[in-house]
Amino acid sequence: MKVLVLTEKPFAAAAVNGIREIVEGAGHELALLESYTDRSAMLQAVSDAEAIIIRSDKINAEVMDAAPKLRIIVRAGAGYDNVDLEAATARNIVVMNTPGQNANAVAELCFGLLVFAARKFYTGAAGSELMGKRIGILAFGNVGRNVSRIAKGFGMEVWAYDAFCPKEAIEAAGVHAAADRDELFRECDVISLHIPATAETKQSINHDLCATMKKNAILLNTARKEVIDEAGLLALMNERTDLRYISDIKPDLDAEFAAQCAGRYFATPKKMGAQTAEANINAGLAAARQICDFFATGNTRFQVNK
Ligand code: NAD
């Protein structure tokens, strides 16, 4: 089988070497198209691939139609909103992600950003400490769980809410389970977002919800920019000059946030959450293993378009 690594933003060399070892070790062929700049090169590269490994690369119906042999797409990472799942299902293509492989990397970044914000962006002004503050984790998945582990190390009080994870499972992790999302927002000093971008969550972090946040609260977004109602949040931050917004995903209104909320807003220049050598390698190798296993045994454990 031909396995194509299709990455506009390439993996680290160590990850590619590891992927090659796994794929070729299982008797398959590995092809690479990295750092591509035009779509025609991408469409050409997929034309004889049976499997592709991608990162944030956009895979839509046009790409799938250019890949008549394609049986499986694996997104090396957690979020898979860059793949048109309906189009894949209609063509009998299995789509998988590699859950959990970059969760620690994202969680560690949360605390880098939080300390930076709590210490007034290292301007020299007196800031505040995280110890004793209450962090509210919205979505207790792989990243959320890692955030809770690290938060405890900082001496924070940890609350969480997840629409699909039972309260008992949250409490079993030694975390207070909020009754609902509204209570989480009302009661916590820091809200850390770990929801996927879905039809239900897009734009769901809006003016009215954030207006209930405590005085001097910090909203931390390492999830997706689409979950924020940017205009609503910007309007609120002009009304509530105590609120801070820190994001790992530059909003479309970045310039407006920067100009109107100076000293209370920060966005990483590029999405940094999963950008560690470890996460890169973990996710890439997991993708390669999942593809080989799928071809060998039909294992679809991590399929997201079932
Ligand atoms: P995950 O699939 O392990 O967890 C997602 C959790 O969200 C699940 O527990 C699910 O029950 C919950 N959930 C889904 N819809 C919800 C809703 N409406 N309300 C409350 N909870 C809901 O995913 P993860 O690995 O924890 O990653 C979370 C998100 O973080 C990803 O979907 C991705 O968008 C984002 N992410 C960003 C980066 C980055 O570089 N900044 C890296 C990895 C992941």
Using pLDDT thresholds of 50, 70 and 90, give the confidence band for residue 288.
very high
Q: How far apart are CA 76 and CA 53, in angstroms?
A: 7
Q: How far apart are CA 117 and CA 94, in angstroms?
A: 41
Q: Tell me what pLDDT residue 188 has.
A: 98
Give, using CA atoms, the residue closest to atom 9 of ligand 1: 141
Contacts of 262 (CB under 8 A, 6+ apart): none
Assess contact for 77 and 97: CB atoms under 8 A.
yes
pLDDT averaged over the chain? 97
Sheet holding 94-97, edge to edge: 29-34, 2-7, 51-54, 72-75, 94-97
Q: How far apart are CA 151 and CA 129, in angstroms?
A: 12
- Nearest-Å Rg of the Cα atoms of the chain is 21
User: What residues are in contact with ligand 1 under a 6 Å CB criterion?
Assistant: 77-79, 99, 102-103, 106, 139-144, 162-165, 194-198, 200-201, 222-224, 248, 271, 273-274
Span 2-101+276-297: which CATH code? 3.40.50.720
Q: What CATH fold (topology level) applies to the domain 103-267?
A: Rossmann fold (3.40.50)
Mutate which of 162, 193, 201, 246 to test ligand 1's pocket (most atoms within 8 Å of Cβ)?
Answer: 162
Q: Tell me what pLDDT residue 128 has.
A: 97
pTM for the model: 0.90
186, 188, 190, 194: CA torsion to nearest 10: -80
CA 227 to ligand 1 center in whole angstroms? 11
Amino acid identity at 212? T
Domains of the chain, by residue range, sit at 2-101+276-297, 103-267
Q: How far apart are CA 158 and CA 178, in angstroms?
A: 10
Which residues are paired to 7 by β-bridges?
Answer: 34
pLDDT in tens, 251-281: 999 999 999 999 999 999 999 999 899 999 9
Examine domains 2-101+276-297 and 103-267 and report if their fold is the same: yes
pLDDT in tens, 60-116: 999 999 999 999 999 999 999 999 999 999 999 999 999 999 999 999 999 999 999
Q: Tell me what pLDDT residue 237 has.
A: 98
Q: Tell me what pLDDT residue 244 has.
A: 98
CA 68 to ligand 1 center in whole angstroms? 31
Mutate which of 9, 150, 164 to test ligand 1's pocket (most atoms within 8 Å of Cβ)?
Answer: 164
